[in-house]
Amino acid sequence: MTRPNGSAATHAPIDVTAGHEPRIRAANPVTGDLMEPEFRLNSPLEVDQTARLAATAFMIYRRTTPEAKAGFLETIAVNIEAVGEDLVSRAMLETGLSRLRLVGELARTTNQLRLFAAALRAGNVGGIRVDPALPDRTPAPRPDIRMRKIPLGPVAVFGSSNFPFAFSNAGGDTASALAAGCPVIVKSHSAHPGTAELATEAIRKSVRESGLPDGVYGALLGSGKEIGALLVSHPEIKAVGFTGSRSGGLALARIASERPEPIPVFAEMSSVNPVFIFESGLPGTISRDYFDALTLGSGQFCTNPGLLFLPKGELGDNVVRDLARMLQSSTGQTMLTHEISSAYEIASARLGAIGGVETVARGSAGAGANAPPAAVYEVSCDRFANEPALCDEVFGATSLIVRYSEPKEMLDAAVSLDGQLTATVHAAMVDEKFVRELVGILELKAGRIIHNGWPTGVEVGHAMVHGGPFPASSNSRTTSVGTLSVERFQRPVAYQNFPESLLPEELREDNPWGQVRTVNGRIEGA
């Protein structure tokens, strides 16, 4: 998702009256008030200490069994649930998100931890491959070679403002890195320091209850530009997970690539999530469903539908008219921070001011300090084809409708798109030939393609892809949601001609941990 990546200073003035210990307070986005308590910002020295502690813990954590890691993840889920009401209440104050939304996000977060636990128990996380020795092969015998995937080392995770649970301290990056066997250090998001601290306490408690060393999980509070950059630069950090703005993700990727030992950055960044509507795909509920997907959570989703291709003519006009009516009677919902709300208003107005763009409708501002109106604009497909700025993401409840005369125009527009997290097609089978062609283009543009649905829900499962070609992510070859995401934090190691007693357990002939393994290229034990 593209949105301003808040540094602490922009959310709340740093209080330096305490001398060398700058502190922040969270701002309530509804009232604009600063809340109690104060949170101490971490120092550069603490970044170093935390990273070293993680490196020490790695030496123990990396050798734990899949079963032990699974139990640890489940303990985190239980301990998060135990403070669930506290988490939801505090997150409501810090983010302005609704109780309903946050209760759902919390369930998603604990389900996610349990899904990784289940994958570990199913023996699917080790990447085991065995090519047994062939002593009689000619002209030369084949040695015994066995591969497993091992964890990379301590991982830096950057919490995001729009998912205070599912993409923050106990979120997907943390869960997948822990499942891989990597300690995690979260650079907590400064917009929800209290939520971050509650989640951190629950995870720390789980570390202790699981008999693991403290350094398996750490959290730091401070500005991304200082504390975040130091963390990514630290030699003990071996990978980075990030969800946030394009500029933020690219800045971290640059720091990571310029280290003496470059490390991978998995940054989920920017997407407008185009929706392609064929005339045959216009059932009665498109306007309502689109309105709901657009305004859900004030549009603060990476998968928010920012671009809707709609046919010219009466059926399309009906959609626009219905939509305008819903928008006009809508009121804005509170956005996450004052900075995000301001950036939204500027970006939405800028989109509306581009030549050829007309305003379909705009809602009313909501009550409170940071509740700007939803807005939908309209432009012709001809104009769209010649103005790249029309593809820029507006983080929030603003969308652009692109009106086309012929389905063929959608194909051309799709070819011109940048990488996306999602692309969506609404059509009936009468358009199957065209849809097939469109999907063939969208495969090269997006990580996930949705048929006759909406992109906003990101199911946490085995087959989910939340990622996509640049700039949707910095690494299109993986996903930041779902069990495949564990592979981001692993690397393969081969053991050649090892005696049984020296092999890691999961590579031994008797497979004591019951891992799924590929033997001579055939999968066994599934």
Q: Show which residues are catalytic.
A: 268, 302
Q: Which of 404, 490, 506, 515 binds a copy of itself (CB under 8 A)?
A: 490
Contact status: 376 vs a copy of itself (CB under 8 A): no
Which alpha helices (H) appear in 22-141, and where do they start and end? 44-61, 66-82, 84-95, 99-121
Nearer to a copy of itself, 32 or 141 (CB): 141
Distance CA 58, CA 79 (A): 22
* 122 in contact with a copy of itself (CB under 8 A): yes
| Rounded CA separation 158/281 (Å) | 39
Nearer to a copy of itself, 145 or 324 (CB): 145
Residue in 47, 102, 130, 155 binding a copy of itself, rule: CB under 8 A: 130
d(CA 80, CA 106): 8
Among 35, 78, 145, 385, binds a copy of itself (CB under 8 A): 145
Q: Which residues lie across from 404 on neighbouring strands? A: 311
- Told to check if 465 binds a copy of itself by CB under 8 A, we report yes
Q: Does 464 bind a copy of itself (CB under 8 A)?
A: yes
Which listed residue (87, 170, 227, 450) binds a copy of itself by CB under 8 A? 450
Residue with smaller CB distance to a copy of itself, 93 or 465: 465
Distance CA 352, CA 346 (A): 10
Taking the least distance from each CB to a copy of itself, the nearer of 65 and 331 is 65
Q: How many helices (H) and strands (E) does the chain have?
A: 15, 19
Question: CB under 8 A: which stretch of 3-11, 215-223, 284-292, 460-468 binds a copy of itself?
Answer: 460-468
Range 405-413 contact pairs with CB under 8 angstroms and sequence separation of 24 or more:
405/311, 405/312, 405/381, 407/278, 407/431, 407/434, 407/438, 408/434, 409/381, 409/385, 410/276, 410/309, 410/381, 410/438, 411/437, 411/438, 411/441, 412/385, 413/274, 413/309, 413/381, 413/384, 413/385
Per CB under 8 A, 480 contacts a copy of itself = no
- Closer Cβ to a copy of itself, 64 or 518, answer by number: 518
Ranges within 234-253 binding a copy of itself (CB under 8 A): 253
Q: Is the peptide bond before 37 cis (omega within 30 degrees of 0)?
A: yes
Q: Can you tell me which of 444, 509, 512, 514 binds a copy of itself, judged by CB under 8 A? A: 444
Stretch near a copy of itself under the rule CB under 8 A, chosen from 23-31, 320-328, 346-354, 457-465: 457-465
Per CB under 8 A, does 513 bind a copy of itself?
no
Which SS3 state, helix, strand or coil, does residue 387 take? coil
- Within positions 256 to 315, which residues make up the interface with a copy of itself, using CB under 8 A? 257, 261-262, 264
477 binds a copy of itself (CB under 8 A): yes
Contact 276, 426 (CB under 8 A): yes
